[in-house]
Amino acid sequence: MSDGEPQPSRQGAQASGAADGLSLPPPPAQRRGGIVRRSLAVAREHWWTAGAAAAVLLMPMSFVSAFVDRAWFDSRFVADAMLDGGSGPRGNPLLGFVEAVIVTPWSLAAALLVVIGRVAAVEGAVAVALRRLPQAVGAMFLAAVVAALPLLPAAALFVLNVDEAVAVMGPGGTVNPEEFPAGMVLAMLLLVLGLVPTVFLGLTLGLAVPLAVADGLGPVAACKASWRRMPGQRLRLLGGMLAVVLPALFVLSLLALPLGLLALSLGREGGWVAAGVGDGMLMSAVTVLLVSIYAVLRADTAPAEPLPPGDPEARWEPDPS
């Protein structure tokens, strides 16, 4: 077995309620509580290795993005753009696509493989995560499409009525309520009503990408497995995100403020380097916290009994490479 991948017994993991090498196997009586405390404990234990696995992918992307947008660090350029009615330089769409579809899920997969104990070395995690990347991206897109279904009626009405809404706008974007299209009002109402089922579906499919990465499931099988595992766990996932990831983003953003001021003081030629370091460190730290929540939920929802032979999870085999 290459890449230093330890291969634990699947049946053993099912019987114990633990998942692979996760160091905090929860007793059955404690499965429903303590996600914040336990995910933070997992993150502390694997901070450096999982962070390095994420950073080795995120840092180069961060440097490239900062270099492309280095004009942001020239105050004269930004001021001239604002005076011309623009908003300053904008990110490269191609780089944004690469970051969202390849680099971000790849880094998340590498960090997750380290946290759950499938791969011990950083280079092995990156290599195995690359092999699992098509499954992770497929699960991500499928889950996003399913979660967005309740918003489709609102989106369709918005597209059909946007020209009429723009036509009745006055100076400064003012609109006479009596002239505002009824279809646009209905679209906004449907948008508000669609948010609740969208969040519900997003949380229900929240383990699709982690299961695709950790267990080698295809996109459809990963979404089905997440749907089966997440009832009773949705609020725990939401609570973990709100209690761990959002405060971490706030604190890390405050820590990145001095680095941002340094970047602005260095100007166009040097500022992008400091910005690349700051953004890469921030996203690596958030990735470790995020995969720690996923690892705890995956352990807590592991099937207690062997699955039927026809189930995709029951057909899982260790990566032979």
Query: Which residue did the predictor score with more confidence, 286 or 271?
Result: 286
320: pLDDT strictly greater than 70: no
pLDDT at 65: 80
Residue-wise over 108-140: b if at least 16 C-beta within 10 A, else e?
A: bbbbbbbbbbbbeebebbbbbbeebbebbbbbb
Please report which confidence band the pLDDT of residue 151 belongs to, taking 50, 70 and 90 as the band edges.
very high
Please report which confidence band the pLDDT of residue 153 belongs to, taking 50, 70 and 90 as the band edges.
very high
pLDDT at 300: 87
What is the pLDDT averaged over residues 149-174?
A: 78
Residue-wise over 260-296: b if at least 16 C-beta within 10 A, else e?
A: eebbeeeeeeebbbbbbbbbbbbbbbbbbbbbbbbbb
What is the pLDDT averaged over residues 142-148?
A: 95
Query: Which residue did the predictor score with more confidence, 30 or 245?
Result: 245
pLDDT at 161: 81
What is the pLDDT averaged over residues 215-223?
A: 92
pLDDT at 132: 93
pLDDT at 61: 86
What is the pLDDT averaged over residues 54-71?
A: 82
Query: Which residue did the predictor score with more confidence, 61 or 315?
Result: 61
Least confident span in 21-25, 57-61, 163-167, 259-263: 21-25
| Cα-based distances in Å from 25 to 18, 109, 230, 256 | 5, 21, 18, 34
Please report which confidence band the pLDDT of residue 178 belongs to, taking 50, 70 and 90 as the band edges.
low
Q: How many residues appear in the chain?
A: 321
Give every CB contact of residue 81 below 8 A, 6+ residues apart in sequence. Answer: 87, 88, 89
Average pLDDT value over all residues in the chain: 75
What is the pLDDT averaged over residues 124-134?
A: 91
Least confident span in 12-21, 218-227, 229-238: 12-21
Least confident span in 46-55, 77-86, 163-172: 77-86
319: pLDDT strictly greater than 50: no
DSSP 98: H
Query: Which residue did the predictor score with more confidence, 276 or 195?
Result: 195
Which pair of structure tokens corresponds to residue 153? Answer: 């009626």
Least confident span in 1-10, 224-233, 288-297: 1-10
Query: Which residue did the predictor score with more confidence, 320 or 173?
Result: 173
What is the pLDDT averaged over residues 32-38?
A: 75
146: pLDDT strictly greater than 90: yes
Query: Which residue did the predictor score with more confidence, 278 or 53?
Result: 53
Query: Which residue did the predictor score with more confidence, 317 or 66?
Result: 66
pLDDT at 80: 45
What is the pLDDT averaged over residues 274-279?
A: 74
| Cα-based distances in Å from 206 to 19, 49, 55, 140 | 17, 24, 23, 9
**Alpha-carbon span 9 to 1, nearest angstrom:** 15
SS3 175: strand
DSSP 20-76: TT-S-PPPGGGTTS-HHHHHHHHHHHTHHHHHHHHHHHHHHHHHHHHHHTGGGG-HH
